Structure 1
């Protein structure tokens, strides 16, 4: 940390290494965060914000940066991999939970920063009601649907030691190159 003045400290974010499939941390159940305002948690959030932006991801869970705590960032924005994505401000979500999930499911293409070069058609609930703590410790409950619901479920799985390839039949797995060909020919 850099001391700017005696009463104010600024957190300097660092770019974190992203755990790759095979790292044990990706298969662990993440621990609940007892103190959202703790300096270590606030520093982790800052690190994750710069890491997800640098990796051009739409989400990042703490286990993906080798921290097995119940925290993820939803950072949806259009990219070559998700050209139809909405643009949202990145949202840190601590101790998230799914309060309700629709019976309606939809299949959609997913990838993962921890499993580069692979895409799969993953079935997910179309709509959710979710609850989480903000980085300030406030409890929020909100509805999400479509792509934001998909990203929430993908990141939530990381907190439970699940990766997207666990959820799909092997015939729905493709390489990144093939995925880009598929979506470009789809219009």
Structure 2
């Protein structure tokens, strides 16, 4: 069972690595990876009260995969963002790899996400607002980018207690 303790923390060099694509031959492994992501996210929610998505590299799984738990679960494999709006918005971002830190970032207001689902079926999803921000956050993890690296300026950090 994966828990909060298994999530890589800020400073772990693996969080800054670019992930490899999931191969179709690895599809049988995806189900167990997603189960681990679900377990860790559930533990974060119980401990800290937040969490809608988690990226595979946060558990040291260096693959282009993330999991969202919204109105239903979403398994996002090998995502691409072929279009994002010019319109941006500011938001205080949080991350399971540093739960006590909020970072003010700018994100695209809307985007188009192309990916494969858990059945290896191609999907296209147009999103906006907070869902756009969430997808950009998780997508960044796959490229070794943390929201701390996207801070608007050097005053865009806030500590929070639980």
Same fold by TM-score greater than 0.5: yes
Q: Is the 8 A contact 1:33 1:70 kept in 2?
A: yes
Partner in structure 2 of residue 138 of structure 1: 121
What's the Cα RMSD here?
1.5
Structure whose CA Rg is larger: 1
Asked if 1:89 corresponds to 2:72, the answer is yes
Residue 22 of structure 2 is aligned to residue 26 of structure 1: no
Conserved 8 A contact 1:36-1:136: no
Q: In 2, distance between residues paired with 1:162 and 1:36?
A: 27
| Aligned match of 1:110 | 93
The TM-score, its normalising length taken from structure 2, stands at: 0.90
Aligned residue among 126, 130, 133 for 2:109: 126
* Distance apart, 1:94 and its partner CA: 0.4
Residue ranges of structure 2 left out of the alignment (5+ in a row): 46-50
- Which one has more relative contact order, counting CA pairs under 8 Å at least 6 apart? 2
Using the TM superposition, give the Cα deviation of residue 53 of structure 1 relative to its aligned residue in structure 2, in angstroms: 1.9
Higher helix share: 2
TM-score, normalised on structure 1? 0.78
| Equivalences, count | 154
Matches within 5 A, 1:46-57: 46-56=35-45, 57=51
Provide structure 1 residue ranges, at least 5 long, that are not aligned to the other structure. 1-13, 77-87, 181-187
Whether 1:43 and 2:32 are equivalent positions in the alignment is: yes
